[in-house]
Copies of this chain bind each other. A is one copy, B any other.
Amino acid sequence: MSDPGSETAGRDRTRAHIVSVAAGLLASGGRDALSTRAVAAAAGTQAPTIYRLFGDKEGLLDAVAEFGFTSYLRDKKARPPAGDPVEEFRAGWDLHVGFGLANPALFSLMYGDPQPGRRSPASAVAFRMLGERIRAIAAAGRLKVGERLAADLVHSAGTGVVFTLLSMPEERRDMRLSEVARDAAIAAITTDAPAVETPGPAAAAMALRATLPDATALTDGERHVLGEWLDRLAVGPA
């Protein structure tokens, strides 16, 4: 281990090669084409190598999913930021649905056959991206439900749309479904009139201060303390 750089480089290189070959097999032959033997043969190596590098088959599948997903993102990521967080959200939705339709086997790998608690690294990446978009909407004062619920709702709608479209013959897919579902999700989690005009906690605190009497979810005492804190926040970090 005196030369870990080149050693792990060689290791990483064969690993990347196997993942790339496996992704090709998956895309061309579907999930069933991705057997350890087929991958090993196509990569010019042996079955035990896969287990040394990936632990087990699930490790290989995770690596393939992450590779395919990030590759797709890299190819498509020429999009300039739109400014409006809801417009950014739309772009993210379309990107994700496009990924699912372009890589059905990969998408099924990431989201099909769900197991409680288990989440593939690739879908974790996707969910984190979604969380950032949701947060941006919230920071703009246009989110009317909790961030977590919003993210779950959008995730549900997106995966559902992709699965539904994938179950149809390709020529019968109605892409309006994606748009309608997308806008329905937006309508469910956002408000048209932004509650906050300027970014930062101060403006948000002021906006909340104004609607505080309507905050019936809090007790009188909580409302009182909250009011004091909001006053401090409205002044700013002085």
Q: Is A60 an interface residue (CB 8 A)?
A: no
Does any Cβ of B come within 8 Å of A2's Cβ?
no
Q: Is the interface of A mostly helix, strand, loop or mixed?
A: helix
B158 lies within 8 A of A234 (CB): no
Q: A229 to chain B: which residues have CB within 8 Å?
A: 218, 222, 226
Q: Report the bound CA distance from A111 to B108 in whole Å.
A: 11
Residues of B close to A226: CB separation below 8 A: 226, 229
Please determine whether A210 and B114 come into contact, CB atoms closer than 8 angstroms.
no
Q: Given A149-B174, A168-B116: A208 and B210 within 8 A (CB)?
A: no
**Interfacial chain B residues near A143, Cβ < 8 Å:** 203, 206-207, 210
The reply on A55 being an interface residue by CB < 8 A is no
Cβ contact within 8 Å between B211 and A200: yes
B204 lies within 8 A of A208 (CB): yes
Q: Which positions in A face B, CB cutoff 8 Å?
A: 31, 104, 108, 111-119, 135-136, 138-149, 152-153, 155-161, 163-164, 166-170, 174, 176-177, 180-181, 183-185, 187-188, 191-212, 214-218, 222, 226, 229, 231-238
A147 adjacent to B180 (CB under 8 Å): no
B166 to A163, Cβ gap below 8 A?
no
The residue in chain B whose Cβ has the minimal distance to the Cβ of A228 is B222
- Find out whether the CB atom of B211 lies under 8 angstroms from the CB atom of A208: no
* Chain B residue contacts of A118, Cβ below 8 A: 167
